[in-house]
Amino acid sequence: MDSSVIIGLLIVIILILLYRLAQFGNNKIKAELKEQYELALKSGDKRKALEAGRKYYAKLRGGKLTIQDEQAIANDMKTAE
């Protein structure tokens, strides 16, 4: 095998590993935000729940909330009462 092919394969493997590591970190952040949201809902503090819900849904949507997200947060707060 040519050394340039081996180097190319190593670069591809490294990029795949970096991508998987970034995915793992992103999933961990989502899980933490979801837990914070659920705790805020249970606490009964609506302002805190709204803030945590917006952070959680924004993370799910790449930073942009939708009308449906706001409605989901409102529904979650109603059912948590």
Tell whether the model's pLDDT for residue 77 goes beyond 90.
yes
**Domain ranges, residue 41:** 3-80
Count of domains for the chain? 1
- Which two three-digit tokens encode residue 70? 């706001």
User: How far is the C-alpha of 64 from the C-alpha of 55, rounded, in Å?
Assistant: 10
Average pLDDT value for the chain: 91
Q: What is the pLDDT of residues 45-67, one digit of tens each?
A: 999 999 999 999 999 998 899 99
DSSP state of 66: -
CB atoms within 10 A of CB 53: 25
Q: Are 40 and 53 in contact (CB under 8 A)?
A: yes
Q: How confident is the model at residue 26 (pLDDT cuts 50, 70, 90)?
A: confident
Which position has the token pair 């249970």?
42
Per cent of the chain over pLDDT 70 is 99
